[in-house]
Chain A
Amino acid sequence: MAAGTTTAGERQRRLELRALLNKKYKWIDRKWDLVFWITAIFVVGGAADITKQLFAGDWDFWTDWKDPQWWPVITAFATIIIPSALQYIQWVAWRFPTGATYTAVCFFMCAWVGRYFQWHVAESYPLSFVWPISIVGAAIILDWILLKTRSFILTSLFGGPIWALLVWAFNYVPLAAYLQPAHFMNHVLTVADVQGIVYIRSQTPEYLRHIERGALRSFLGETQYVSLVFGGTVAVAGYWIGQFIGRYLAVWPIRRYIKTL
């Protein structure tokens, strides 16, 4: 630890690093930072969106797919991958606990632009039916955990389950209104189910939804909590997939390239 520096030489070295950190930007200036942070929005937002689409496409699209069983599991796993990779990159390079939040903020912008123009304006689905989930809240806490633990292992162990819980909890708040029971076609359906029937999806038949219908494994009817625990476990796995991407597909090749210079 830095605080425990013993020798004078070591102390001297750290003072030099401090001077280096506060050195004036000369040949390169803040414009570089600006260009970097802004251009990366599209790359990072796109990567996050594609990863989510790949694993959790329909679950993130429709309110009537956001079921108690699969939605918390699949979205938690699909959305933690890129935040984890960016956490590694930004922490290692600049000691910024910002990778997850940066991904979440970029993803938020991409998702809303896509939903608004592609699905609402062009396809005329109401936004109330096709709103995207937001992972910003969960990402802030994931970055905060990294800031406090300074360890990717601890962040994965605590952060994975907390991620699963928070992604679900933050998006359950807007979903709640759509889970109210309604009377439609002589059945009791949730408002979300009604949206799924009323706003016609010719190529997404209702039977494709994965809705828990009750089985011996639906532990005392508390599917929700079993799912969250399971979601937490797969989120830990997702976190390490992200770490792999950050370490071996991003940072490692760059280091190698720099060494050859």
Chain B
Amino acid sequence: MTKKRRLTWIAVLAIAAFIAPSKAFAHGEAGDEPFLKDLTTAFYDVSISPKAIHVGEPVTITGTVRILDTWPYTLDPPQTAYITPVVPGPVFALEDRVINGQPAPGSFFVERGGVYQFKMVMVGREPGRWHVHPGIAVQGTGTLVGPGEWVDVQPAVAKFTFPVTLLNGKVIDLEGYQSSFVWWWSFAGFLIGVAWMLYWTLSKRTVTNLAVTTQIGINEDAPDIGLITPRDQMWMNVLAGLTIALLILGWFYAATRYPVRLPQQTDWFAPRPLEPDLKLAEVRPEGATWNDGTDTLVMKVQAKNVSDSPITLKEYVMGMTTFVNGGPDAQAQAGPHEYVGQLEVEPNGPIAPGETKELTLRIANPILSEERLIPTRDPQQFIAGLLRFEKAGGGEQFAVVRINVIPTQFKAQYIPGL
């Protein structure tokens, strides 16, 4: 191998190592501290499909996000939020967004305990393989990210267009709409500026000018010496006049061509509340342990069935992850597979009406540490999530639990193996 060839290979490998997506981390969501993910919100029933499209074809993101009652007091209380696809730039174009059944072009009002069912439709815009998440941005906190899925966007034969209907009935293509006018308009002004600059820099010199200006007053333009001559004044009047003429022309054009102009619109609303949860269980957390070496979380809770039929614990939802008390089929239903895992419940099975059971919930899953969901060296050693109970014959409840976590083993922090 020649030296040049070898260098090329090293460069290619280095770049590949840098951009090779390391599955769940594609959006740096693991960078947030655990409490920011666990205590704030929980995403569940998320579906992102289809997973392969062509440019111009739709992908639909649906799911539910709940703002937990455990919202950290260290953050601003949740008031205004915005639900958005979290994608690497405008590789998709958002076509529709519905929250609790209402169209939601912009932000909306939220509260602790609020439940927001979202549906977003976006069309592929740039070919590539993109990691797609739903996310909720909460004012004062930032964007909290839900579970993600890889979506393959293949190129299409037709050029990508995005038609939008104006109020006057005209249909425009949003892609590059009016961009050539913006450019030529700005460029016309730029040309006058260049003419102004060339006039001074070509007809005059810096070094001899400096020798003169240091010897006269700062307010003198000294036409007798020749620093600024009547001819200069005349040409500058012409260029300034041209500038104003251009502006008047531009305003005339804009006013006649676009007679109706509105200020930017902002319609924030409080979404209609969904049907409230049933009251099925009373849950008392009794503590949890975390083994950092084996990525195992064990939680103990006491659950009392306060309904009139048997209930079953189906899921534990924490941040963007869902752990399912069920087989592969139930897990596949629960959301994007990288963010779904197994929940072992001991003793498993229904809880009879009126009965109280001591449940041991066990989750052994590397996602917990990959996504930094468990506090290990943080000032607040607790987690929060939702226990999803289902009633025989239909109906469910999401019970919020906040549990203290006791670490039983620590991973090496700075030096591997120590």
Contact = CB atoms under 8 A, between A and B. Distances in A.
A184 B172 CA distance: 12
Contacts of B244: 141
B220 A22 contact: no
B183 A127 contact: yes
Interface stretch (A29-37, A49-57, A228-236): A29-37
A127 B182 contact: yes
B190 A173 contact: no
B166 A193 contact: no
Task: Kindly state the interface size class of chain B when it binds its partner.
Answer: 35 or more
A14 B104 CA distance: 72
Contact of B261 (A14, A25, A95, A179): A179
A134 B222 contact: no
Interface string B184-213: 011001101110110011001111111111
A43 interface: no
A180 B263 contact: no
Contacts of A14: 222, 224-225
A206 B122 contact: no
Dominant secondary structure of chain B at its interface with chain A: mixed
Given A17-B225, A179-B258, A193 B185 contact: no
B179 A23 contact: no
A173 B244 CA distance: 13
Interface in B66-112: 80-82, 84-87, 89-97, 103-107
A195 B205 CA distance: 47
Contacts of A98: 196-197, 200-201
Given A127-B182, A200-B94, A2 B260 contact: no
A201 B106 CA distance: 12
A191 interface: yes
A169 B226 contact: no
A127 B187 CA distance: 14
A2 B218 CA distance: 12
Contacts of B166: 180-183, 191
Given A97-B228, A202-B85, 19 more contacts: A5-B224, A14-B225, A18-B225, A33-B201, A68-B264, A95-B209, A96-B200, A126-B174, A134-B189, A134-B190, A137-B189, A140-B192, A143-B236, A172-B251, A191-B174, A207-B81, A212-B263, A213-B266, A223-B263
The 9 closest A-B pairs by CB, nearest first: A205-B137, A173-B250, A176-B254, A205-B82, A179-B261, A128-B179, A136-B193, A94-B209, A181-B167
20 contacts: A2-B216, A2-B225, A25-B208, A33-B205, A95-B222, A101-B196, A102-B197, A137-B189, A137-B243, A150-B220, A170-B250, A174-B182, A177-B257, A197-B94, A198-B95, A200-B85, A207-B82, A207-B139, A207-B268, A223-B263
Interface of B: 80-82, 84-87, 89-97, 103-107, 122, 125-126, 135, 137, 139, 143, 162, 164-168, 172, 174-179, 181-183, 185-186, 189-190, 192-194, 196-197, 200-201, 204-213, 215-216, 218-228, 233, 236-237, 239-240, 243-244, 246-247, 250-251, 253-255, 257-258, 260-268
